[in-house]
Structure 1
Amino acid sequence: MRTRFFVEVDAGGEIISVEEGEASSLPAALLPLLGRFAAERVLESGFIWAPESQNEACQIQVAPATSEDPVRASVYVSGEWLEELPFALTYRELDVLTMLALGLPSGEIGGRLHVSPRTITTHVDRIMRKMGAQSRTAAAVMAVDQGIVRVPLPEGAGEDSGVLRLGRTMRGTTTRGDAARRSVKRPLVIGAALPLRGAAVADGIEMARASQLAVEELNARGGIGGREVGLEIVGIDLFDGDQVRTAFEELIGRGVDVVTSGYLARQDVAHEVIAEARIPYLHAATLDAMTQRVREDSTRYGKIFQVCPSDSNYAPRFVEMMTQLRDRGQWRPSSSRLVIAQGGWEQTDLGIVRASGLAEQHGWDLEVMRLGITGPQGWNDLATLMSSSAPAAVMIGNYLVDDTVSFMQSFLRAPSDTLVYSLYSPSVPEFRERMGDAADGLLWATVTGTYSDAHARAFVHRFRNRFGVNPGRSHAGIAYDRVSLIAHAWQFSANPRDAGLVADELRRVIHRGVNGVYHFGDASQAAQTYSGPGGDPSMSQAHLVFQIQAGKQRILDPDPYADGHFMQPPWFSKR
């Protein structure tokens, strides 16, 4: 059965957006009148749609949209199909009440309804008793204020323009609050599942704050077409698959319009929940395995977007960067041996096969090691091994602050002339807080990082003013940009509640954020990467390589985003 609906109708009598329910719930025969409400800019009105040929009624509330452009004049229309008329009125009593509201005397009402004046008097007495009105005038005022007038107007009561006239009489009344509340556009809501429990809490706070800042700024500019944007955050432990599933199901149950998340060890769980819900989802898990899933089954996963390039770029970039430093004479490696230590979650693919080919091409001996023990102890053991075996460089294939700190603290107790190249974790302010000056000299890379240009510096300034601390160099920027991406898609969708239209706009978007350019340009629906010559920085995100120097994050590569030069780590011996 048809129940509630909320739509926007333009001056041409066309439905231009659906907020709630189905467009088919609004009677098509009512559209011309609603178009006149829009064209003539009636401030607000309410009535009961009850054609005499049908034994059903729908309570209608109409309010103007906010646009001042007469070409785009429109009204918001909310409706609810009724099981019985208000105050238990009969349809005949509704006819009489409608004519009272139009200002007709009893004798004239009786003539138009072909009944005696005494019969009308009886109807009026019953109406007053049911409504608790002390007079016929009070009943008429209540009918106008509460929208208890029949449309189409009863036979002989005049044209439906009378309803427009009734609408105009409501200007300045004090009893229309319910209609106004029901006619406000329901906010568009972003749901976020963030690591606010277990590992990576500090990073989760970064994500939450940046999302909050972006939503606040968006609403300060008027939201989306005058519609407020909301943010619903659910905290999770990124390693707990049950928590991931519960959090995503909770967000969907809250009725959010889009779901977002940072990185999840159980990203596969999130993908499956979203695939069933079929609403847009933007994540930053950097997992090639997940983009492959989208590429292979666009029907099931077509509304899922990865807002950063994939992890399979990490190992090749490490080899490229070591080659660049060596060949430019910025670094004299102690040997030709490079080590990649893998210790991430199972779905991680660091691009080892491609890295091996590059290493052979450029004269490196590449060794790939997987930790026998996971967690900090495993990285402690690896650091001891690196100190004793002294490869030219080692890449820490892990994203968590705890593990990278454990490696560095152990390695620096007896360091070798080995470049240490970490992934992502030094982007989190917690890393430098824990390492202090001992972090100097560390190289680290991220497939998506916050640039150092004027656009990014302005974001940092606003973040610091809002929260009293500087943001990190990766996921704060991602979370901020992610809201802008969603806002763009909503803004350009004919109906921001239509998940398919929003997903279509996300596929078209080319957005320059504080972390570079977001463009979902192929079937994987993942952001593209740029690492130097041969890439296109106007359509991708730079794979940034940083070095911590005197407590500051300096971008070494690629151009044109670099703001520093490589410096020999302080733990190197003088040779």
Structure 2
Amino acid sequence: MVTAFSRHRHRFVTVRVWDRFEETCRGGGDPVQENSPFDGVRRWLQPDAGRGRGSDQEFFAARPDLVLAAQRAARGLRGEFVRYLDVTGNRVRRVTIDVPDADHGVARLDITDTEAPFGLTVRELQVATCVAGGLGNQEIADALGCTRRTVATHLEHVFAKTGAASRALVATLIATHDAYVAPLPSPGLVLPGPLLTVLREQPPAPSVSRAPKRQPAVLGTVYPAGGADVVAMRRGTKLAVQELNARGGIGGRRVEHVTVAATPETLLEKVNGLTERGVDAVLLGNFPLPYARPAIASVAAAGIPVLHSMTGQALSEDVHADPGGLGSVFQVCSTESAYVPGLLRTVRFLAGTGAFRPGRKRLAVLQRESTFDDGLFERVQRHADEAGWNLVFLEPVPDHTANFGEMVRRLERAEPDAVSLSIFPEPTLRSFLTAAAPLREHALMHAAWSPVAPGFTERLGGLSEGLLWSTVIGNVESPVCTGFEQRFRSTFGAEPGLAAAAVHYDIVNVLAQAWSRVSRPWDFAAVREQLRSAVSFGVTGAHQFVGLGQRGLSYPDDTVDPTRGHPHLVYRISGGTNRRLAPPVFS
């Protein structure tokens, strides 16, 4: 049993993995924006012991022969790759069975509708398979229940359609195109050993098989529509994939990138669609917490690794509370709970330099409603007390508020020296800064994340002047970062910004490192173990998922060792330029 989240906020439901996987597979969604070789795929994952699971339960329930083939592969093959054509019901389907060379046996079975090679009919494919298996015309006639003359006619058609001039060449073409058919027309066929292992009860003596072809590693990404930060994320991901493939892929496997756009309301449907299409990992953009939680739980129910950079504290707490059901979820950064203590640490530094003189150390916090929880007040109050500040205002704000007039009037009555704003969409932040113009004359304004978007200061103009802002993950000055920024500008003719593009560029490379250390990217258990144990360094600093709920660390919020986490970066906008504040704790 695993625990997954319902659509309703803060409500839990317990479901069986099997049932959850079935729910996952009901998602459809619009066609992906990039061509994918997995459209229409039916997938079955079969361990060498125990029950498997599939993306189309009704189909596999009606085809126990295919499940049996996967079971035989899981038990009898290691590091092998088998392809053939299933012609049951006179319909041609491509069957691919892939087994990693790991100690634990698990087979991935993929079924896709396809066209017969060379325009052969099902009967002609059966005849050609028998020829490739070494049978003479009379043996073929006996196997198929027809006359030798009928076999000869079919064989003439095979010669004509394939252009082959001999039986030997027919055998070569069938092998080259993996066009052997199942059910096997005859038990006496001499075929490659791995193929017979999965299609016959008693496999023959081992034979030398062809080196397995490398199927691509398939990365599915889902991003919200619009926004400069979203564009930067998409481009960072695209650049990482392009560079990986330019270097030859991952262990010889090309990385296929399947990306879809989603609104918060369609997010669950879209991730289910990616799961059904057979992606090997899912990378998510930033979505509101009430929509992100069920979507993440749905993908995790299928065991597929999910990586994201959302900072809602509940996300990592969910994983910590349910490591069995959500153990494939990895959060690359710390949580937004670090922003208030980071602000208070910064104002202490500014006060020490004389750049900011708070009067009565009165703090106001506006938290986006989608991440507001019952424990928030206690946490913020504790941070304020530890820093010697008075918390005088704390309210939830709908994520897309346009009118802040009444709230600003209440803020003015609270007379804060500093106002901390949660991660709000840029239009919401603009509305607040516009309404709070009088308040800004005597109070320091701090925003989280939103100003990382390329062109932020140009779009907001004077509204951004003097704004203090921070991010728990972003570009770290280093040769790695400089090289990334140069390649980004060269590729897209645009600035990468200070975080969004680099974060998603790094996520792809962290995943690629894990993939490179396993036999198959779809061996999800092995990939998860690599993600948990790996340490890497990228554009945004050190990556390791050792924080609560498999998340990254923020320095100095979560660790005093800057080599173990991402520096909590703080900037102040002056003259339209983001100027990084660099006290010793951030260096």
Partner of 1:531: 556
Partner of 1:251: 274
Q: Give CA-to-partner distance per residue, 1:482-536, whole Å, 9 cap, x none.
A: 1001101110113221111111111011121212211111451011111279611
Contact 1:287 1:347 in 2 (8 A): no
Within the candidate set 155, 165, 185, 1:131 is matched to: 155
Within the candidate set 56, 73, 98, 2:134 is matched to: 98
Larger RCO, structure (CA 8 Å, separation 6 or more):
2
Instruction: Please give the alpha-carbon distance, in whole angstroms, between the structure 2 residues aligned to 1:358 and 1:5.
Output: 49
Name the larger-Rg structure: 1
* Paired residue type of 1:260: L
Instruction: Please give the alpha-carbon distance, in whole angstroms, between the structure 2 residues aligned to 1:78 and 1:358.
Output: 52
Task: Please report the TM-score for the alignment, with normalisation by the length of structure 2.
Answer: 0.68
Compute the displacement of 1:196 (Å).
0.9
Going from structure 1 to structure 2, the CA distance change for 1:420 and 1:224 (only over 3 Å counts) comes to: same
Going from structure 1 to structure 2, the CA distance change for 1:330 and 1:245 (only over 3 Å counts) comes to: same
Q: Give CA-to-partner distance per residue, 1:126-183, whole Å, 9 cap, x none.
A: 6442211489963443233334999x9x99999999xxxxxxxxxxxxxxxxxx9x97
Instruction: Please give the alpha-carbon distance, in whole angstroms, between the structure 1 residues aligned to 2:414 and 2:43.
Output: 70
Instruction: Please give the alpha-carbon distance, in whole angstroms, between the structure 2 residues aligned to 1:356 and 1:216.
Output: 46
Within the candidate set 535, 556, 563, 1:510 is matched to: 535
Q: Give CA-to-partner distance per residue, 1:173-219, whole Å, 9 cap, x none.
A: xxxxxxx9x9753221111111116xxx3322221111111111111
Instruction: Please give the alpha-carbon distance, in whole angstroms, between the structure 1 residues aligned to 2:134 and 2:294.
Output: 57
CA RMSD of superposed structures (Å): 4.7
Going from structure 1 to structure 2, the CA distance change for 1:155 and 1:251 (only over 3 Å counts) comes to: closer
Going from structure 1 to structure 2, the CA distance change for 1:560 and 1:459 (only over 3 Å counts) comes to: farther
Partner of 2:3: none
Partner of 2:580: 555
Contact 1:316 1:358 in 2 (8 A): yes
1:272 aligns with 2:297: yes
* Paired residue type of 1:256: V
Partner of 1:73: none
Contact 2:281 2:306 in 1 (8 A): yes
* Paired residue type of 1:231: H
Contact 2:351 2:358 in 1 (8 A): yes
Partner of 1:87: 124
Partner of 2:236: 210
Alignment of 1:134-283 (within 5 A): 138-147=166-175, 184-196=213-225, 201-237=227-263, 240=264, 242-265=265-288, 266-283=291-308
Q: 4+ residue stretches of structure 1 with deviation over 6 A?
A: 3-7, 45-48, 58-62, 77-80, 122-125, 154-161
Unaligned 5+ runs, structure 2: 1-40, 46-65, 86-92, 98-108, 140-145, 194-209
Instruction: Please give the alpha-carbon distance, in whole angstroms, between the structure 2 residues aligned to 1:275 and 1:158.
Output: 42
Aligned residues: 473
Going from structure 1 to structure 2, the CA distance change for 1:452 and 1:351 (only over 3 Å counts) comes to: farther
Partner of 2:434: 409
Partner of 1:365: 390
Q: Give CA-to-partner distance per residue, 1:280-305, whole Å, 9 cap, x none.
A: 10122212212111111111111011
2:357 is paired with a residue of what secondary structure? coil
Contact 1:383 1:408 in 2 (8 A): no
Instruction: Please give the alpha-carbon distance, in whole angstroms, between the structure 2 residues aligned to 1:130 and 1:159.
Output: 21
Contact 2:399 2:424 in 1 (8 A): no
Going from structure 1 to structure 2, the CA distance change for 1:79 and 1:215 (only over 3 Å counts) comes to: closer
Unaligned 5+ runs, structure 1: 8-19, 39-44, 49-57, 63-76, 101-108, 114-121, 162-179, 563-575
Contact 2:553 2:559 in 1 (8 A): no
Compute the displacement of 1:410 (Å).
2.9
Q: Percent identity?
A: 27
Residues 278-287 or 127-136, more deviating? 127-136
Partner of 1:428: 453
Residues 396-405 or 382-391, more deviating? 382-391
Going from structure 1 to structure 2, the CA distance change for 1:94 and 1:364 (only over 3 Å counts) comes to: closer
* Paired residue type of 2:266: Q
Instruction: Please give the alpha-carbon distance, in whole angstroms, between the structure 2 residues aligned to 1:141 and 1:357.
Output: 78
1:293 is paired with a residue of what secondary structure? helix
Instruction: Please give the alpha-carbon distance, in whole angstroms, between the structure 2 residues aligned to 1:473 and 1:443.
Output: 14
Compute the displacement of 1:480 (Å).
0.7
